[in-house]
């Protein structure tokens, strides 16, 4: 049944874009093993969705556990080892797409990157120290979406990009999220050649019922970090994976992640751009199982 649902999800993705050149999906069922993700060096190979890993010295840990995912399935628990931000940026990282998305100068064959995942906080009550974030990843980060305690007992989502001068910018996607509730996060990145700050990012957050409860568009990637400050040796970064971090958090479990998908594609037809990702990637998780 799981295989059939994943196959159907892939078909939906393929039908919504001009040509989804590469799609990876996982729900942490077999062949994932229950227990910690592998550590050590990045030994992944492109195109293998199951080769998730965590650097040995990362502050964040990742562990597959039974019964914690959506509907009582397996899920990936992401947490903090208690040493805050140790300077390791690429903490929990997904498998790599065989075909990345990025600007032409990055050498990537595709221009659009899309990702979707479901998450909930491990805590069902407010945690003032909570901090979790996710990044579109290649040889370095290209996007930054963080979740934090909002100071009023709730949970907020904030997207950070860079302007033409290389200054950090931020915008609130939603500041009334609830602790312990499942949410879907859909991110789309359209890489544009040249610059400055002309890549486009959109983020949508959906609740367990599929209602969009937070949306921002026209945001920027971190391309000015490479262009102006020499991040990644000054080279433009192509995206082929997703990264997750539990930084400055309370020691222990931070969030549970399930039903992850990520894809790269050629630039879609203008009329279909708004539909890509939100409709296609939402169908993946909704079709596999409903949240409980």
Q: pLDDT tens digits, the chain, 292 residues: what are they?
A: 344 434 444 444 444 344 568 999 999 998 899 999 999 888 899 999 999 999 888 889 999 999 999 999 999 999 998 877 666 777 899 999 999 999 999 999 999 999 999 999 999 999 998 999 999 999 888 999 999 999 899 999 999 999 999 999 999 999 999 999 999 999 999 999 988 999 999 999 999 999 999 999 999 999 998 888 887 777 788 999 999 999 877 789 999 999 999 999 997 544 444 444 433 444 444 444 433 3
The dihedral sign for the CA sequence 122, 127, 128, 129 = negative
Number of domains in the chain: 1
CATH code, domain with 152: 2.60.120.560
286 in any annotated domain: no
Residue 199: CA count within 13 A, CB half-sphere? 28
Nearby residues of 194 by Cβ (< 8 Å), 6 or more positions away:
103
282 in any annotated domain: no
**Paired tokens of 184:** 């879907």
23 in any annotated domain: yes
Considering the entire predicted model, what is its pTM?
0.86
31 in any annotated domain: yes
292 in any annotated domain: no
Q: Return the number of other C-beta atoms located less than 10 Å from residue 17's C-beta.
A: 24
Domain that includes residue 30, residue range: 2-274
154 in any annotated domain: yes
Q: Return the number of other C-beta atoms located less than 10 Å from residue 200's C-beta.
A: 18
Helix (H, G, I), strand (E, B) or coil at 3: helix
Distances, alpha carbon 210 to alpha carbons 63, 206, 278, 284, 285, in Å: 27, 5, 10, 12, 10
């Amino acid at each position: 049944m799981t295989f059939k649902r994943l196959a159907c999800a892939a078909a939906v993705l393929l039908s919504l874009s001009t040509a989804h050149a590469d799609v990876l999906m996982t729900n942490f069922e077999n062949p994932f093993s229950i227990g910690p993700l592998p550590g050590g060096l990045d030994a992944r190979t492109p195109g293998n969705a199951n080769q998730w890993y965590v650097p040995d010295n990362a502050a964040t840990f990742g562990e597959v556990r039974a019964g914690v995912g959506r509907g009582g399935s397996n899920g990936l628990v992401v947490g903090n080892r208690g040493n805050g931000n140790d300077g390791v940026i690429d903490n929990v990282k997904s498998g790599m797409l065989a075909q990345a998305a990025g600007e032409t100068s990055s050498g990537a064959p595709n221009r659009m990157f899309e990702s979707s995942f479901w998450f909930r906080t491990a805590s069902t009550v407010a945690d003032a120290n909570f901090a979790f974030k996710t990044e579109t990843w290649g040889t370095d980060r290209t996007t930054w979406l963080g979740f934090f305690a909002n100071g009023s007992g709730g949970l907020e989502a904030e997207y950070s990009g860079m302007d033409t001068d290389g200054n950090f910018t931020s915008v609130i996607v939603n500041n009334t999220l609830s602790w312990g509730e499942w949410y879907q996060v859909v991110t789309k990145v359209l890489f544009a050649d040249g610059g400055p700050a002309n890549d486009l990012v959109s983020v949508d957050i959906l609740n367990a019922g599929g209602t969009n409860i937070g949306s921002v568009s026209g945001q920027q990637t971190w391309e000015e970090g490479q262009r102006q400050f020499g991040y990644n040796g000054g080279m433009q970064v192509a995206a082929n994976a997703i990264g997750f971090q539990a930084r400055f958090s309370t020691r222990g479990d931070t969030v549970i992640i399930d039903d992850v998908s990520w894809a790269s594609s050629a630039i879609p037809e203008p009329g279909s751009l708004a539909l890509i990702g939100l409709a296609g990637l939402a169908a993946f998780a909704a079709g596999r199982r409903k949240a409980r």
